[in-house]
Each structure stands twice: as structure tokens, then as C-alpha cells.
Structure 1
Amino acid sequence: MTTENQVVHALKEMIGGNSLLKVGRNGKAHFRHFRLAKDLSGISWSSPRKDKQETIILVSQMDSLLLGQKTKVFLAKPMPELKTLSFSLLYSDSEGFHRSLDIVCQKQREFDIWIIGLQQLINGIDDKSITTELFQDAKTELIINTEQSVDDLVELDHLIVLNSAQIDQSVFGVYTWGSGINGALGHGEDIDIPSPRVVEALLAYNIKRLACGLHTVFALNGIFCNNDLTLLYLMFYYLLKIIIKALLSNIRAEDGKVYSWGLGKYGILGQGNLRSRFAPLKIASFKSSNVIDISCHELHAAAVTSSGELYTWGKGSENFNRLGYLCQNKQTSPALVHSLSAYTIFSVACGYNHTLAVTNTGSVYSFGDNSNSQLGVGDTEPYAEPQLVTVLNDENIIKVACGKYHSAALSAKGNLFLWGLGDDGQLGLGNYNLSTEPTILHIGEKKAKVMDVACGDLHTCILTVGGLVYAFGSNIYGQIAAPSMNKFHLPYRISFNTSKRFVSVSCGSFHSAAITENGKLYAWGLETDGRLGLGDCKQRSSPTEVEGFRDKKIGRIACGSKHTAALIILSSSADKKFKSSWRTT
């Protein structure tokens, strides 16, 4: 059995590099210098006749190892005397074709080192002590751009551009706080942080959307994402197709890329392996696609591209499938949900064991576990293939949200529908019953219209068009900010110490957050691990402004299970002030 010390030694040796005999497809063999990238993202080798991008294999592309000389390349020109020093790395190239990298080592020691190291990279490195030793001298892990050489990594100081002429007028900074286990905060370490801290590796990127799961974060860059259209749709929903077409025509090549970090279990990061990431890494599978929506939960994630395709990845299941296609074990890279290919998908939401997808015509499809009727199709049978939620057929749905076992859908007219488990009042329908189909929620006598919705494990938060925040469900940790710790099965209006209207809400498992029209952030609920960003671990049963953002303007908020992420808007007039604080925040 390979020990931790052997793994660390092998990876360090690979980073230093070795001269290995590479056997080409034409049968010719040449010595090439191979080495592993310092951030363990891939291997590269020297070649005088090839472009740099042709001499890189990312870990996300690696499939398996074959010992000996078993591939077509080796069989065409066998070298029996070197069989015990030979191996082949099977991988998928950038076009999706299966390839083999065929290697002959000079010594047994080199063979052992590369076999141990490559096998560990393919399996995923979940051992904290291994990554700690490998990165103990590094300030942070850098993002690998899959379109460049592994050798072309730049230092962090060059990544943070300080010349205002080189930075766009609108700069978005990603901040995270809370539980840092498995690198969930993206700072290159796995410690809990109770106050907001900037994710330095993303400062040069135009991040527009965030999604948080159990110990994971996804960041989406680009000129827009689908949530930018929600308010427009509420006002002019009959013009949505025209708006989308105009915006999509302006997407740049670098827009719509997704970065992920945190726990790599089940392949939920979409990097093609099970390795946890302690800093942002671009998902290579979306190199040729523009992503406009991203969602994740504890076990899986999903993304929608500008062409209307839905991709999912993460943990599969034998009894039901939250991924929308047959997968009994795990899917480590984004895979197309083929059964929805005939439709143009606009938005997606992930629950614990189920998924909801919205088409550009406002229809909703659901799939996965249905033991609590969270699919909204009128029964409790699981569905591996997407099912049309027929009750919502004429409602023009523009957004969906998932709790652990309940679901919500928002229509273009501001009507909110909920269904699934209601034991804690999380459906807000005046009872604690399970609802097998979507049921409209009524808010007060005037039946206020809704513009945003978010679901926690056992509670729901909603935002009305008038800028008021309501919540219902379990209040065991103060997550709905009600005066008692009881369950609430009707919408409860939350009181804030501000007269400003609210523009966005988000829910974690047991905490909640909301953003005001002037960009201030309020948080409440369970504070374990520092997930509220208030600098301590004290539970808050009423909304409290996050002091760390007093001089900043919040653009978006995403609550994970035990951590939180936010987008900070840096206006042109404040750029100088904030740039000087990037290194010290």
C-alpha cells in the first residue's frame, strides 16, 4: 500500500521533472523532459515541433493507467526488454478523442515515481496533510488557463492588475467566509474564516454569478447571466426572447467560463477527478461553451449554456438519478442531459437528490428522487429521466429554487409556487403537509407579487416586488428571523433596521442573507464556522449588517451549507481605494 510520504515524494519529484522516452504514434521514440505543474493541475513535456497546448495533459483529462506495453502504439513496435519500465496514460484530448501517452522510463525508480504520482492524481487527493505539505510555501494556488501552457503560470502579483488603464471600469471582487474545510473558501487553505476575505485569484476576472454547495463554490464570469434578466422579465416578460437574443450576440470568447473549488468528492467540481481544490480552477469541459447559469447542492452540480443545453455532474444513483441520465456511480466532468436536447434550457436549480430545469418558453422539467414529491409531478415515484411539471404549463416560469426536499418556481407575473416536503412549514401554505404538486403562495391580503426566492434545508425566503423580505419554515437556528424558535407555516415579514428596499435573498442550510438596494448585506441564522461573516460564531435570530462590507457595495450573495460567497461591486470612483486594500483584506 502506498504511504503518504511516498505520494508526497513522488509528486515533488514529478514537479522537478524527469527525462522519459516518449513513443510517438508513428512508432518513433524520443527523450522528452516531463514535469508536473506546481499546482498539480497537469503534466507537460518539451517538444521542438509542437505547440505548447499540444504538450499538456490536464488532470481533468486523465482517465487511467496501463502498465506494460498494451496500447496500439506499443504493440506496433514492441520493446520487450523494456516492458517492465513502460506504461501508458489514457486520456481524452480537447476534442474528446481517446488518446494514450506512451512512456518508457530509464530506471525503476522513475517508473515507480510516475506510477504512484499519476495514479494519485487520477484518483484524487483528498488527504489534507498531503496538500498542506505540497503547498506550505505557496501564497495561493493560481488559476490554470487551459488555453495556455502549464509553464505559463504567472505570479499572483502580476495577476492582480493595478494599472487602471488595464482594468475595466466595473471590477467585481469575490469574497468568501465561513467553513473553509477542503478549501471551500478558495484562499489556498482549509481554515474557517468568520469575516469576509477576498479571493485574490479571481480579482482579474469579470465574475457575475456564484453558487455554493456543501463545501464547494462555483464562479461564473461573463457579461451577464440569466438572473440579470429576472427583473426585466417581470416587467416585460413577453420581450424575453428578444432580450436574450440581443445579449447573447454580445458574448465574448472569454465570457461564460466556470471556475470551481472546494471538496472534490463525487467529482462535484467538474474537473474530471475526485481531487479537492483549495483555489479556483477553470472547468476545462466548458472551454468551447458559454455558461449562463450554474447551480449546485451537496452531491451534484448543473450548468446551462448559451445554446440552451443542460449539463450535470457529480454523484449518480442506482435507484434514481439526480443527473438526468444513467449514472450509477459518479460523473466527474459535465455531461449533457440528452433527454432535454430538444428544448432550450434557460435556468436550473439543484436540490439534495433532485434537479429542476426551466425552458425558454417557461416550462419546468424535474428529475431525481421524489420520495417527498419534490419533483411536483403528483406522485412520490423517482424519475431518472426529466418529467414535465404539467401544473406549471401555463405559468411562464422564469426561476426555480430547490431546498433539500422542497421546491419553488417563480412566474413572470410574480406568482410563486411551492411543493414537496412541508413538515417544517417550508412551503408557507398554512399547514405542515406534503404537497405533491405546485401550489400558489398568497402573501397577505393584497397578495403581493414575488421577484426572488431562495430555499434552505428547512426554510424559504422570498422577496416581494416592493422590496420586502418574508420567510417561513423552521426557525430552530433563527434562520427566518421570527420572534420565536417555532416553525412558521405562513409567510413572516422580517424586520430590518433600515428603510432601504431589498433586491436579493439567499439561503444556506440554516442561515439566510439579503442585499439592500444600496448594496448593504444583512445576515442571520446559525453562525457556526463564521458563515454569517460577522467576525464571531454567535447565532443571530435577527438580521445584522455585515460590518466587513460597510464601505463596499454588494452585487450578489450566495449562501452555501456552511459558508457564504459574495460579489462586491467596485465602482470606478472607488477603484483606487479598493485596489489598495486588495492585498490586506
Structure 2
Amino acid sequence: MSELNEAPSPADEEEVWSWGAGTDGQLGTSKLQDEHLPQLLSLTSLPSISMLACGGAHVIALTSGGKVFTWGRGNSGQLGHGDNLNTSLPKLLSFFDDDYFISQASAGWSHSAFVSDSGSLFTCGNGSFGQLGLGDNISLTSPAKVSYFVDKSVKMVACENQVCGFGSGKRGQLGVSSERTKSVNLPCAVSGLEDVEVVRIAANGDHSAALSANGELFTWGRGFCGSPDVQTPQCLPSYESFRDVALGWNHALLLTVDGKVFKLGNTLDKQSEKQQLQEGSSETLLEKVHGFDGVKVVQIAAGAEHSAAVTESGEVQTWGWGEHGQLGLGDTNDQTNPQLVSLGSGDLQTKETKVYCGSGFTYVVRRKQ
């Protein structure tokens, strides 16, 4: 799933598009239905978006003024509004009011996390695996401050260059021990990254990943394509230098500094995965994504089993699982190679395009001059 923290210029004009699974209101269209083609949203109540995060079936938007809006599925309290109700349109999260300027957020399957500009971490939603980091397994319908970080400054999930994990650890995705850990309900330092300058982290399903300042990728948790689970971060052998990583349930996307896209795992090739399991292969396979030859990619995103990328020219391309229309191509077909998504006429000059993937839905934010 996807997240971004980058403030737009107030003078910019903004378009927000959504498509895919929508029965819980996560598309922001006010309709409880899937959409197979991109829908241009009318979000007049939502000020300029500085960040968007998509989860299992809910969305978090931050404004340039540090306000928080959430919508979509709320059955576990992940919207933070003090109830377990779904909301089909963006709703202001009044909990923070004027006391906190929220600068970053992340959306899990059914829980949410918010970071203030002062470095405080708040969580809400499903806590059954300890994923709220509050020392228990209780679910919350309103955000609560994670006291473990009260004397530390949080940026994403990194704490003073120390990566911490909490929640389900059944496949080693917490990276806190060489032994299997069912769950952890308080933040614990990830083993093996103490001497690594981490600049980007990602987590989805049973996988976790981190990028170092020099472009190395570290992964831990469930192995890709049948390779063994990894309990502590392992550096991926590669001649490439990476600048971004996005994780799905069964695959990872990697973006190199020169704009090439690689993948680990293949959500649509089950026969290939079965072949690896039969042969007992433990090697993690890194494969270049075909379809971007001669094209520089500037951003990537991953849903549960679909992928998206933005090219240097601002085009959005999608591929993977398409059952709910999350590829935005007008049908529910799967695609093994990137396909161009049509987003209107584009009469105004596009300044910036960003794509975000939830589990089975997709958002695009375009800012224009």
C-alpha cells in the first residue's frame, strides 16, 4: 500500500482520481460500488492535499495545513472518528484539532498511524496483534499516543535512525528476533539495521523492507516466490542502486535511481511459484518489469496484488490483479505487463502526478499549474 509526504504549492490546481474496489466507500465517490474506470472526484470540502495513504479499504488524506481527513471502511475504528462506521466521503478527523500538525500518516489493513511535526506517533483501529504499539491487543476508535516514543522523535516508523516494529510477527516481518514471534504489542528495535542509515521503509502483508542511503535494499519476513522466511533484515544482492520500494502481499516493486523498475515475486504466475517450491529454491529472484524500455519511471506503488507506476512524462501505468477494476482499464481482467491508464484530456499542463494503491483500489493526485 502507498504513502507520500510532499506539500504542494498553494497556487497549484489539483485533480484527484480513484477507481477499483469501492463497496466500503473508499473511493470517495459517495457511491458504494466498484469503478472500473478512473473517477474524477469533487472534493470541495477537502483543502489542498499534501499526502495520501491507502489501506485495506480506507484512505487518509493530510492537508498542507496539517489537518487529517479519513474515509472508507471504519469497522475497526481505523478512521479515528470515535466509532466503527464507514464513511463514503472525506471527513475531518477532529481528534487533532489545532493541538497537532500532522505531517505523515500510514494506512494498514484495518489500522492507521499518524505522525506529528513534533515527532509524536498516534495509532487507532484494529489492535488484535498489538499493531497499535500500545502494550495491549485492544482496538481503538480514536487515535492514542504511542508512549514508547514520548522522548524520541518519530519519522514514519524510524526512531533516531532506529527502525522499530510491532504487531503480527508470525513470518518474521517484525525483524526483532532470530526466533519466530507471534506478535509484539510494544515497539521493538529491528535487529541488524543498527549501522544502516535507513531512508525509506515499507510494510505490507507478511513482508517488511528498508532502503539505505546508498541504495541497498533490506527485506525480512515471508520469503518471495516460496523462498524461506527471513527473521532479520537481509541485504538483497544487486548491482542496482534503489531509490524506492513498494510492497504487496506477494510481491515487491523496486525503483532504481535511474528510473528502472524491478520486481520480487509474481502475483499472476502461480505455476512459476509452484515450480520454485518443488525445486526447493531459496534464491530471491529480482526481475526487471517489461514495458518501460526507454522510459524513465519516477514513482511506484503496490496494492495487495496489483502495481502502478508514474513515468517521467506523467503517464500512469498499472498491471497485476484486476478483479475489482483496480487497474482502471474499464474491465476486470488481470494484466501481466504495464498498461496505460487514461485520465482525461489533460488540457492543463501537469506539474506532478502521484499514484497510490490500496489493497484493491487506486488513487491518482495530479497537481497542475
Query: 2: distance between equivalents of 1:544 and 1:342?
Result: 47
User: Alignment partner for residue 135 of structure 2, among 323, 326, 336?
Assistant: 326
Using the TM superposition, give the Cα deviation of residue 550 of structure 1 relative to its aligned residue in structure 2, in angstroms: 6.2
2:345 & 2:295 partners in 1: Cα distance?
15
Q: 1:452 and 1:308 mapped to 2: Cα distance?
A: 23
Q: Tell me if the contact between 2:111 and 2:126 (Cα under 8 Å) persists in the aligned partners.
A: yes
Q: Report the equivalent of 2:318.
A: 523
Within 5 Å, which residues of 2 pair with 1:514-553? 514-548=309-343, 551=346, 553=350
Within 2, Cα distance between the matches of 1:483 and 1:172?
42
1:64-213 correspondence runs (5 A): 168-202=10-44, 205-213=47-55
2:208 counterpart of 1:416: no
RMSD of aligned residue pairs (Cα, Å): 2.2
Query: Aligned equivalents of 1:259 and 1:517: distance in 2?
Result: 29
Q: CA deviation at 1:538?
A: 1.5
Residues in 2 aligned to 1:546 and 1:483: alpha-carbon distance in whole angstroms: 28
Q: Could you say what secondary structure the match of 2:192 adopts? A: helix
Give the 3-state SS of the residue equivalent to 1:220 in structure 2.
strand
Question: What does residue 261 of structure 2 align with?
Answer: 469
Residue 362 of structure 1 corresponds to: 161
173 and 496 in structure 1: CA distance in 2 versus 1, 3 angstrom threshold = same
Question: In the alignment, residue 210 of structure 2 is paired with which amino acid?
Answer: A
Could you tell me how far apart the structure 2 residues matched to 1:281 and 1:390 are?
Answer: 39
Q: Match for residue 503 of structure 1?
A: 298
User: Measured at CA, do residues 323 and 169 of structure 1 come closer, stay the same or move farther in structure 2, by a change above 3 Å?
Assistant: same
Question: Is there any run of 5+ residues in structure 1 with no aligned partner, and where?
Answer: 1-166, 223-254, 348-356, 426-431, 572-585
C-alpha change, 1:423 and 1:440, in structure 2 (3 Å) is closer
**Unaligned ranges ≥5, structure 2:** 1-8, 277-282
Deviations 1:134-191 (A, max 9, x none): xxxxxxxxxxxxxxxxxxxxxxxxxxxxxxxxx9421222211111112111111111
Paired residue for 1:51?
A: none
Give the alignment partner of residue 190 of structure 2, picking from 389, 392, 395: 389
Which residue number corresponds to residue 217 of structure 1? 59
Change (3 A) 1:543 1:203: farther
Flag the structure with higher helix content.
1
Check conservation: 1:477, 1:525, Cα contact below 8 A: no
Q: Among the aligned pairs, what percent are the same residue?
A: 32
Instruction: Report how far residue 485 of structure 1 moved.
Output: 9.5
Q: 1:494-536, CA deviations, whole angstroms, 9 ceiling, x for partnerless residues?
A: 1225522111111000100011122111100011111011111
Contact 2:224 2:264 in 1 (8 A): no
TM-score (norm 2): 0.89
Question: 171-180 or 259-268, which moves further after superposition?
Answer: 171-180
Alignment check: 8 A CA contact 1:315 1:330 kept: yes
TM-score, normalising length from structure 1? 0.57
Is the 8 Å Cα contact of residues 35 and 324 (structure 2) preserved in structure 1? yes
Query: For the residues of structure 2 that align with 1:397 and 1:442, how far apart are their CA atoms?
Result: 17
Question: Is residue 2:141 matched to residue 1:340?
Answer: no
**CA offsets 1:530-572 (integer angstroms, 9 cap, x no match):** 101111112111001112256374521111111111111222x
Q: How far apart in 1 are the matches of 2:224 and 2:202? A: 18
- Which secondary structure state, in structure 1, belongs to the residue aligned with residue 299 of structure 2? strand
Runs of 4+, deviation exceeding 6 Å? 482-488
Q: Distance in 2 between matches of 1:483 and 1:202?
A: 47
Residue from 70, 74, 99 that aligns with 1:260: 70
Corresponding residue of 2:92 = 282
Which of 282, 286, 299 is the aligned partner of 1:491? 286
Contact 1:210 1:557 in 2 (8 A): no
Work out which structure has the larger RCO, using CA pairs closer than 8 Å and 6 or more positions apart in sequence: 2
Paired position in structure 1 for 2:4: none
Alpha-carbon distance change, 492 to 550 in structure 1, aligned in 2, over 3 angstroms: farther
